[in-house]
Amino acid sequence: MAIEPVRIAITGMGIVSPLGDDLETLWANLSTGKSGVAPIELTPTDSLPFRSGGEARGFDGKIDCYGDLDKKLQRSIKKNMKVMCREIEMGVAASQKALIHCGLGPDRDAERCGCLFGCDYILTRPEEFVDGVESCISESGKFDVSDWPNQGLYKVEPLWLLKYLPNMPNSHVSIYNDFRGPNNSITVREASMNLAIAESSSIIRRGAADVMIVGATGSRIHPLRMSHMTNIEKLATEKDDPAAMARPFDAAADGMVLGEGAGALVLESWDHAQARGAKIWGEVIGEGAAMIGPKGDRDFLRMAVAASIKSAIASAGERLPKQWHLHAQGYSVPEIDKSESLAIADALATFPDVPVACTKSYTGNLGAASGALELISSVLAMQHGQLFPIRNLDSAADHVTWQPATSQSAPGTACLHSSFSQQGQAASIVVAAA
């Protein structure tokens, strides 16, 4: 007798984003074409060649940003804010919102609940070392590094490192919610969320958990990271209208826009979700991943992305409906967009009518958080039966031979979200509408 495969339900979603910090606001902004790219307010940009980005302006880190929590959980989170930097705070907030959204009650089996979180490497903010550096300034006004071990180091907050470790979003979420099941952290930049979903789905399918909270957080709006990326990446030219800066797949694109945010999903076995009467927002029906690093003159990004998408399509198999949409990454960096565009054309060769969406045209690049926000955006599009167009795609680049989404495009009853890092790590997830 054949054993029925375990189905994976999406029962909760939570966000912190440049397009709003709740699902209703996110959808309202996407469906009306509103951009989240605007002048940056929380970090100085005077020494940078740009002044705008996809900032999560509604998130100030206060306890109200974490959703409607009971007093005990509020106290626990407030007590630990001193060891959470902004990226970790956003990740925890998105997770708590997703858990509230899914309606999972306090009677859950802690041993059967787990957490898997995606994250960028997190940079320390410069102010952590200000007192230490000042104590090592000589009478001549120069910093003497030889004084650091005995004078500077002792002025640094003893727990400073806990604020910046990339495994801490997972740790905080698991501890606050007493999730004692499988937990792990993934740091593969933009591909992190999809890899976390694939691993969490596998954990549930093999019977190691009934519930997994899966999230990702990232911020490119950070004084050191912005300076670093200005030197190593192609960034969008500042415009009088910041909303016109993010231009994935457009002939006039000249670089990426930096952003920040977090997103989380609650995954459950289908039977567990139905048994407790949960609303099911979607079902994970396929996963694919590939890793092809730089070597010679090969277009390794194109190869990795195409392999990832094809693998996800094969994984979904007959469950992939006739009408669906693809959610692309869209860096807005011309050469990277070309590689992704050619990969999409290759993977969709037998699916000519599949429209392609791209949330980064609204928000910029949120790092690891991009995958979470983009997938949630596609789930909402399927719920509303409406797909949002790619913003600023005024004149598509020559390599765009597939069908960009428009406001008239139907989202279909499934979406394939494709993500990848510039280092050649690619991951794709297929979600069917409930």
Q: What is the pLDDT of residue 296?
A: 62
Alpha-carbon distance 98 to 354, whole Å?
29
Q: What is the pLDDT of residue 107?
A: 86
Q: What is the pLDDT of residues 2-13, one digit of tens each?
A: 567 899 999 999
CA atoms within 13 A on the CB side of 335: 7
CATH 3.40.47.10 fits 8-123+164-433, yes or no: yes
pTM recorded for the entire structure: 0.95
Residue 232, classified by CB atoms within 10 Å of its CB into exposed (0-12), middle (13-18) or buried (19+), is exposed
CA dihedral 397, 403, 409, 414 (to 10 degrees): -120
Query: Both tokens of residue 399?
Result: 């390599």
Q: Where in the chain is the domain with CATH 3.40.47.10?
A: 8-123+164-433
Q: What is the pLDDT of residues 286-309, one digit of tens each?
A: 999 999 988 766 799 999 999 999
**Mean pLDDT of all residues in the chain?**
94
Q: What is the pLDDT of residues 222-238, one digit of tens each?
A: 888 899 899 999 999 99
Q: Which residue has the tokens 């797909």?
A: 387
Residue 81, classified by CB atoms within 10 Å of its CB into exposed (0-12), middle (13-18) or buried (19+), is middle
Q: Pick out the chain residues at pLDDT < 50.
A: none
Query: Both tokens of residue 205?
Result: 């399918």
